[in-house]
Structure 1
């Protein structure tokens, strides 16, 4: 059997896939454009149920790359957080969080910070109960004992007050139960 290395499609290649898919072309025909098997194209299209996702956009409230460059320049010049915030018409707490979140005052790099922010903003996020299987088993056990999601969420916070990995909101539990989001409790 022929084994190929994993391929990552660019955004323009994915756009072409969606365009051809909307035009009614077969998976095999679309895959031939990229010299790949139909299953690689099927994986891209199936991730969103065959419906093209909206293009990713940055929130108007999020810091831009230009603002991050200004933060980086200001830090290098020894400016205070308050003066940087005034220049950007942003809250000092926004600037402070941005710096702490991205390597601190000495290691802050605008391009790296922007890349990390873009990755953190990626939606949909993987459900916490999928990522943390021990937590999922604990929640499932409590549900079998007829505990409500609110009771479980409160109990987890009291039982593990310093361990954020064991904190989950009641909404996450409801979502996993009733919508079966990503099969979290299966």
Structure 2
């Protein structure tokens, strides 16, 4: 069986797993060997892999030099992480990592 054909059966395999079949039975249902089915299951850690990572808000831009200067000023002034985060439009955890 060609690699492309084999890969095209993976989504069908995971659908069968979601329906409650064991890997070997799901493999048989989509026309792949039990060995192949167990390999797919094992490589995914027993969990259907995502097709792609969800990107709800998009990548956050990195801290700019000005952001870093503002954080330094806030630290020296004794400002809280949350306060600096609100001022810069960033989560407090980002500010903490930068410090």
TM-score (normalised: structure 1): 0.25
TM-score (normalised: structure 2): 0.42
Which structure has the larger Rg?
2
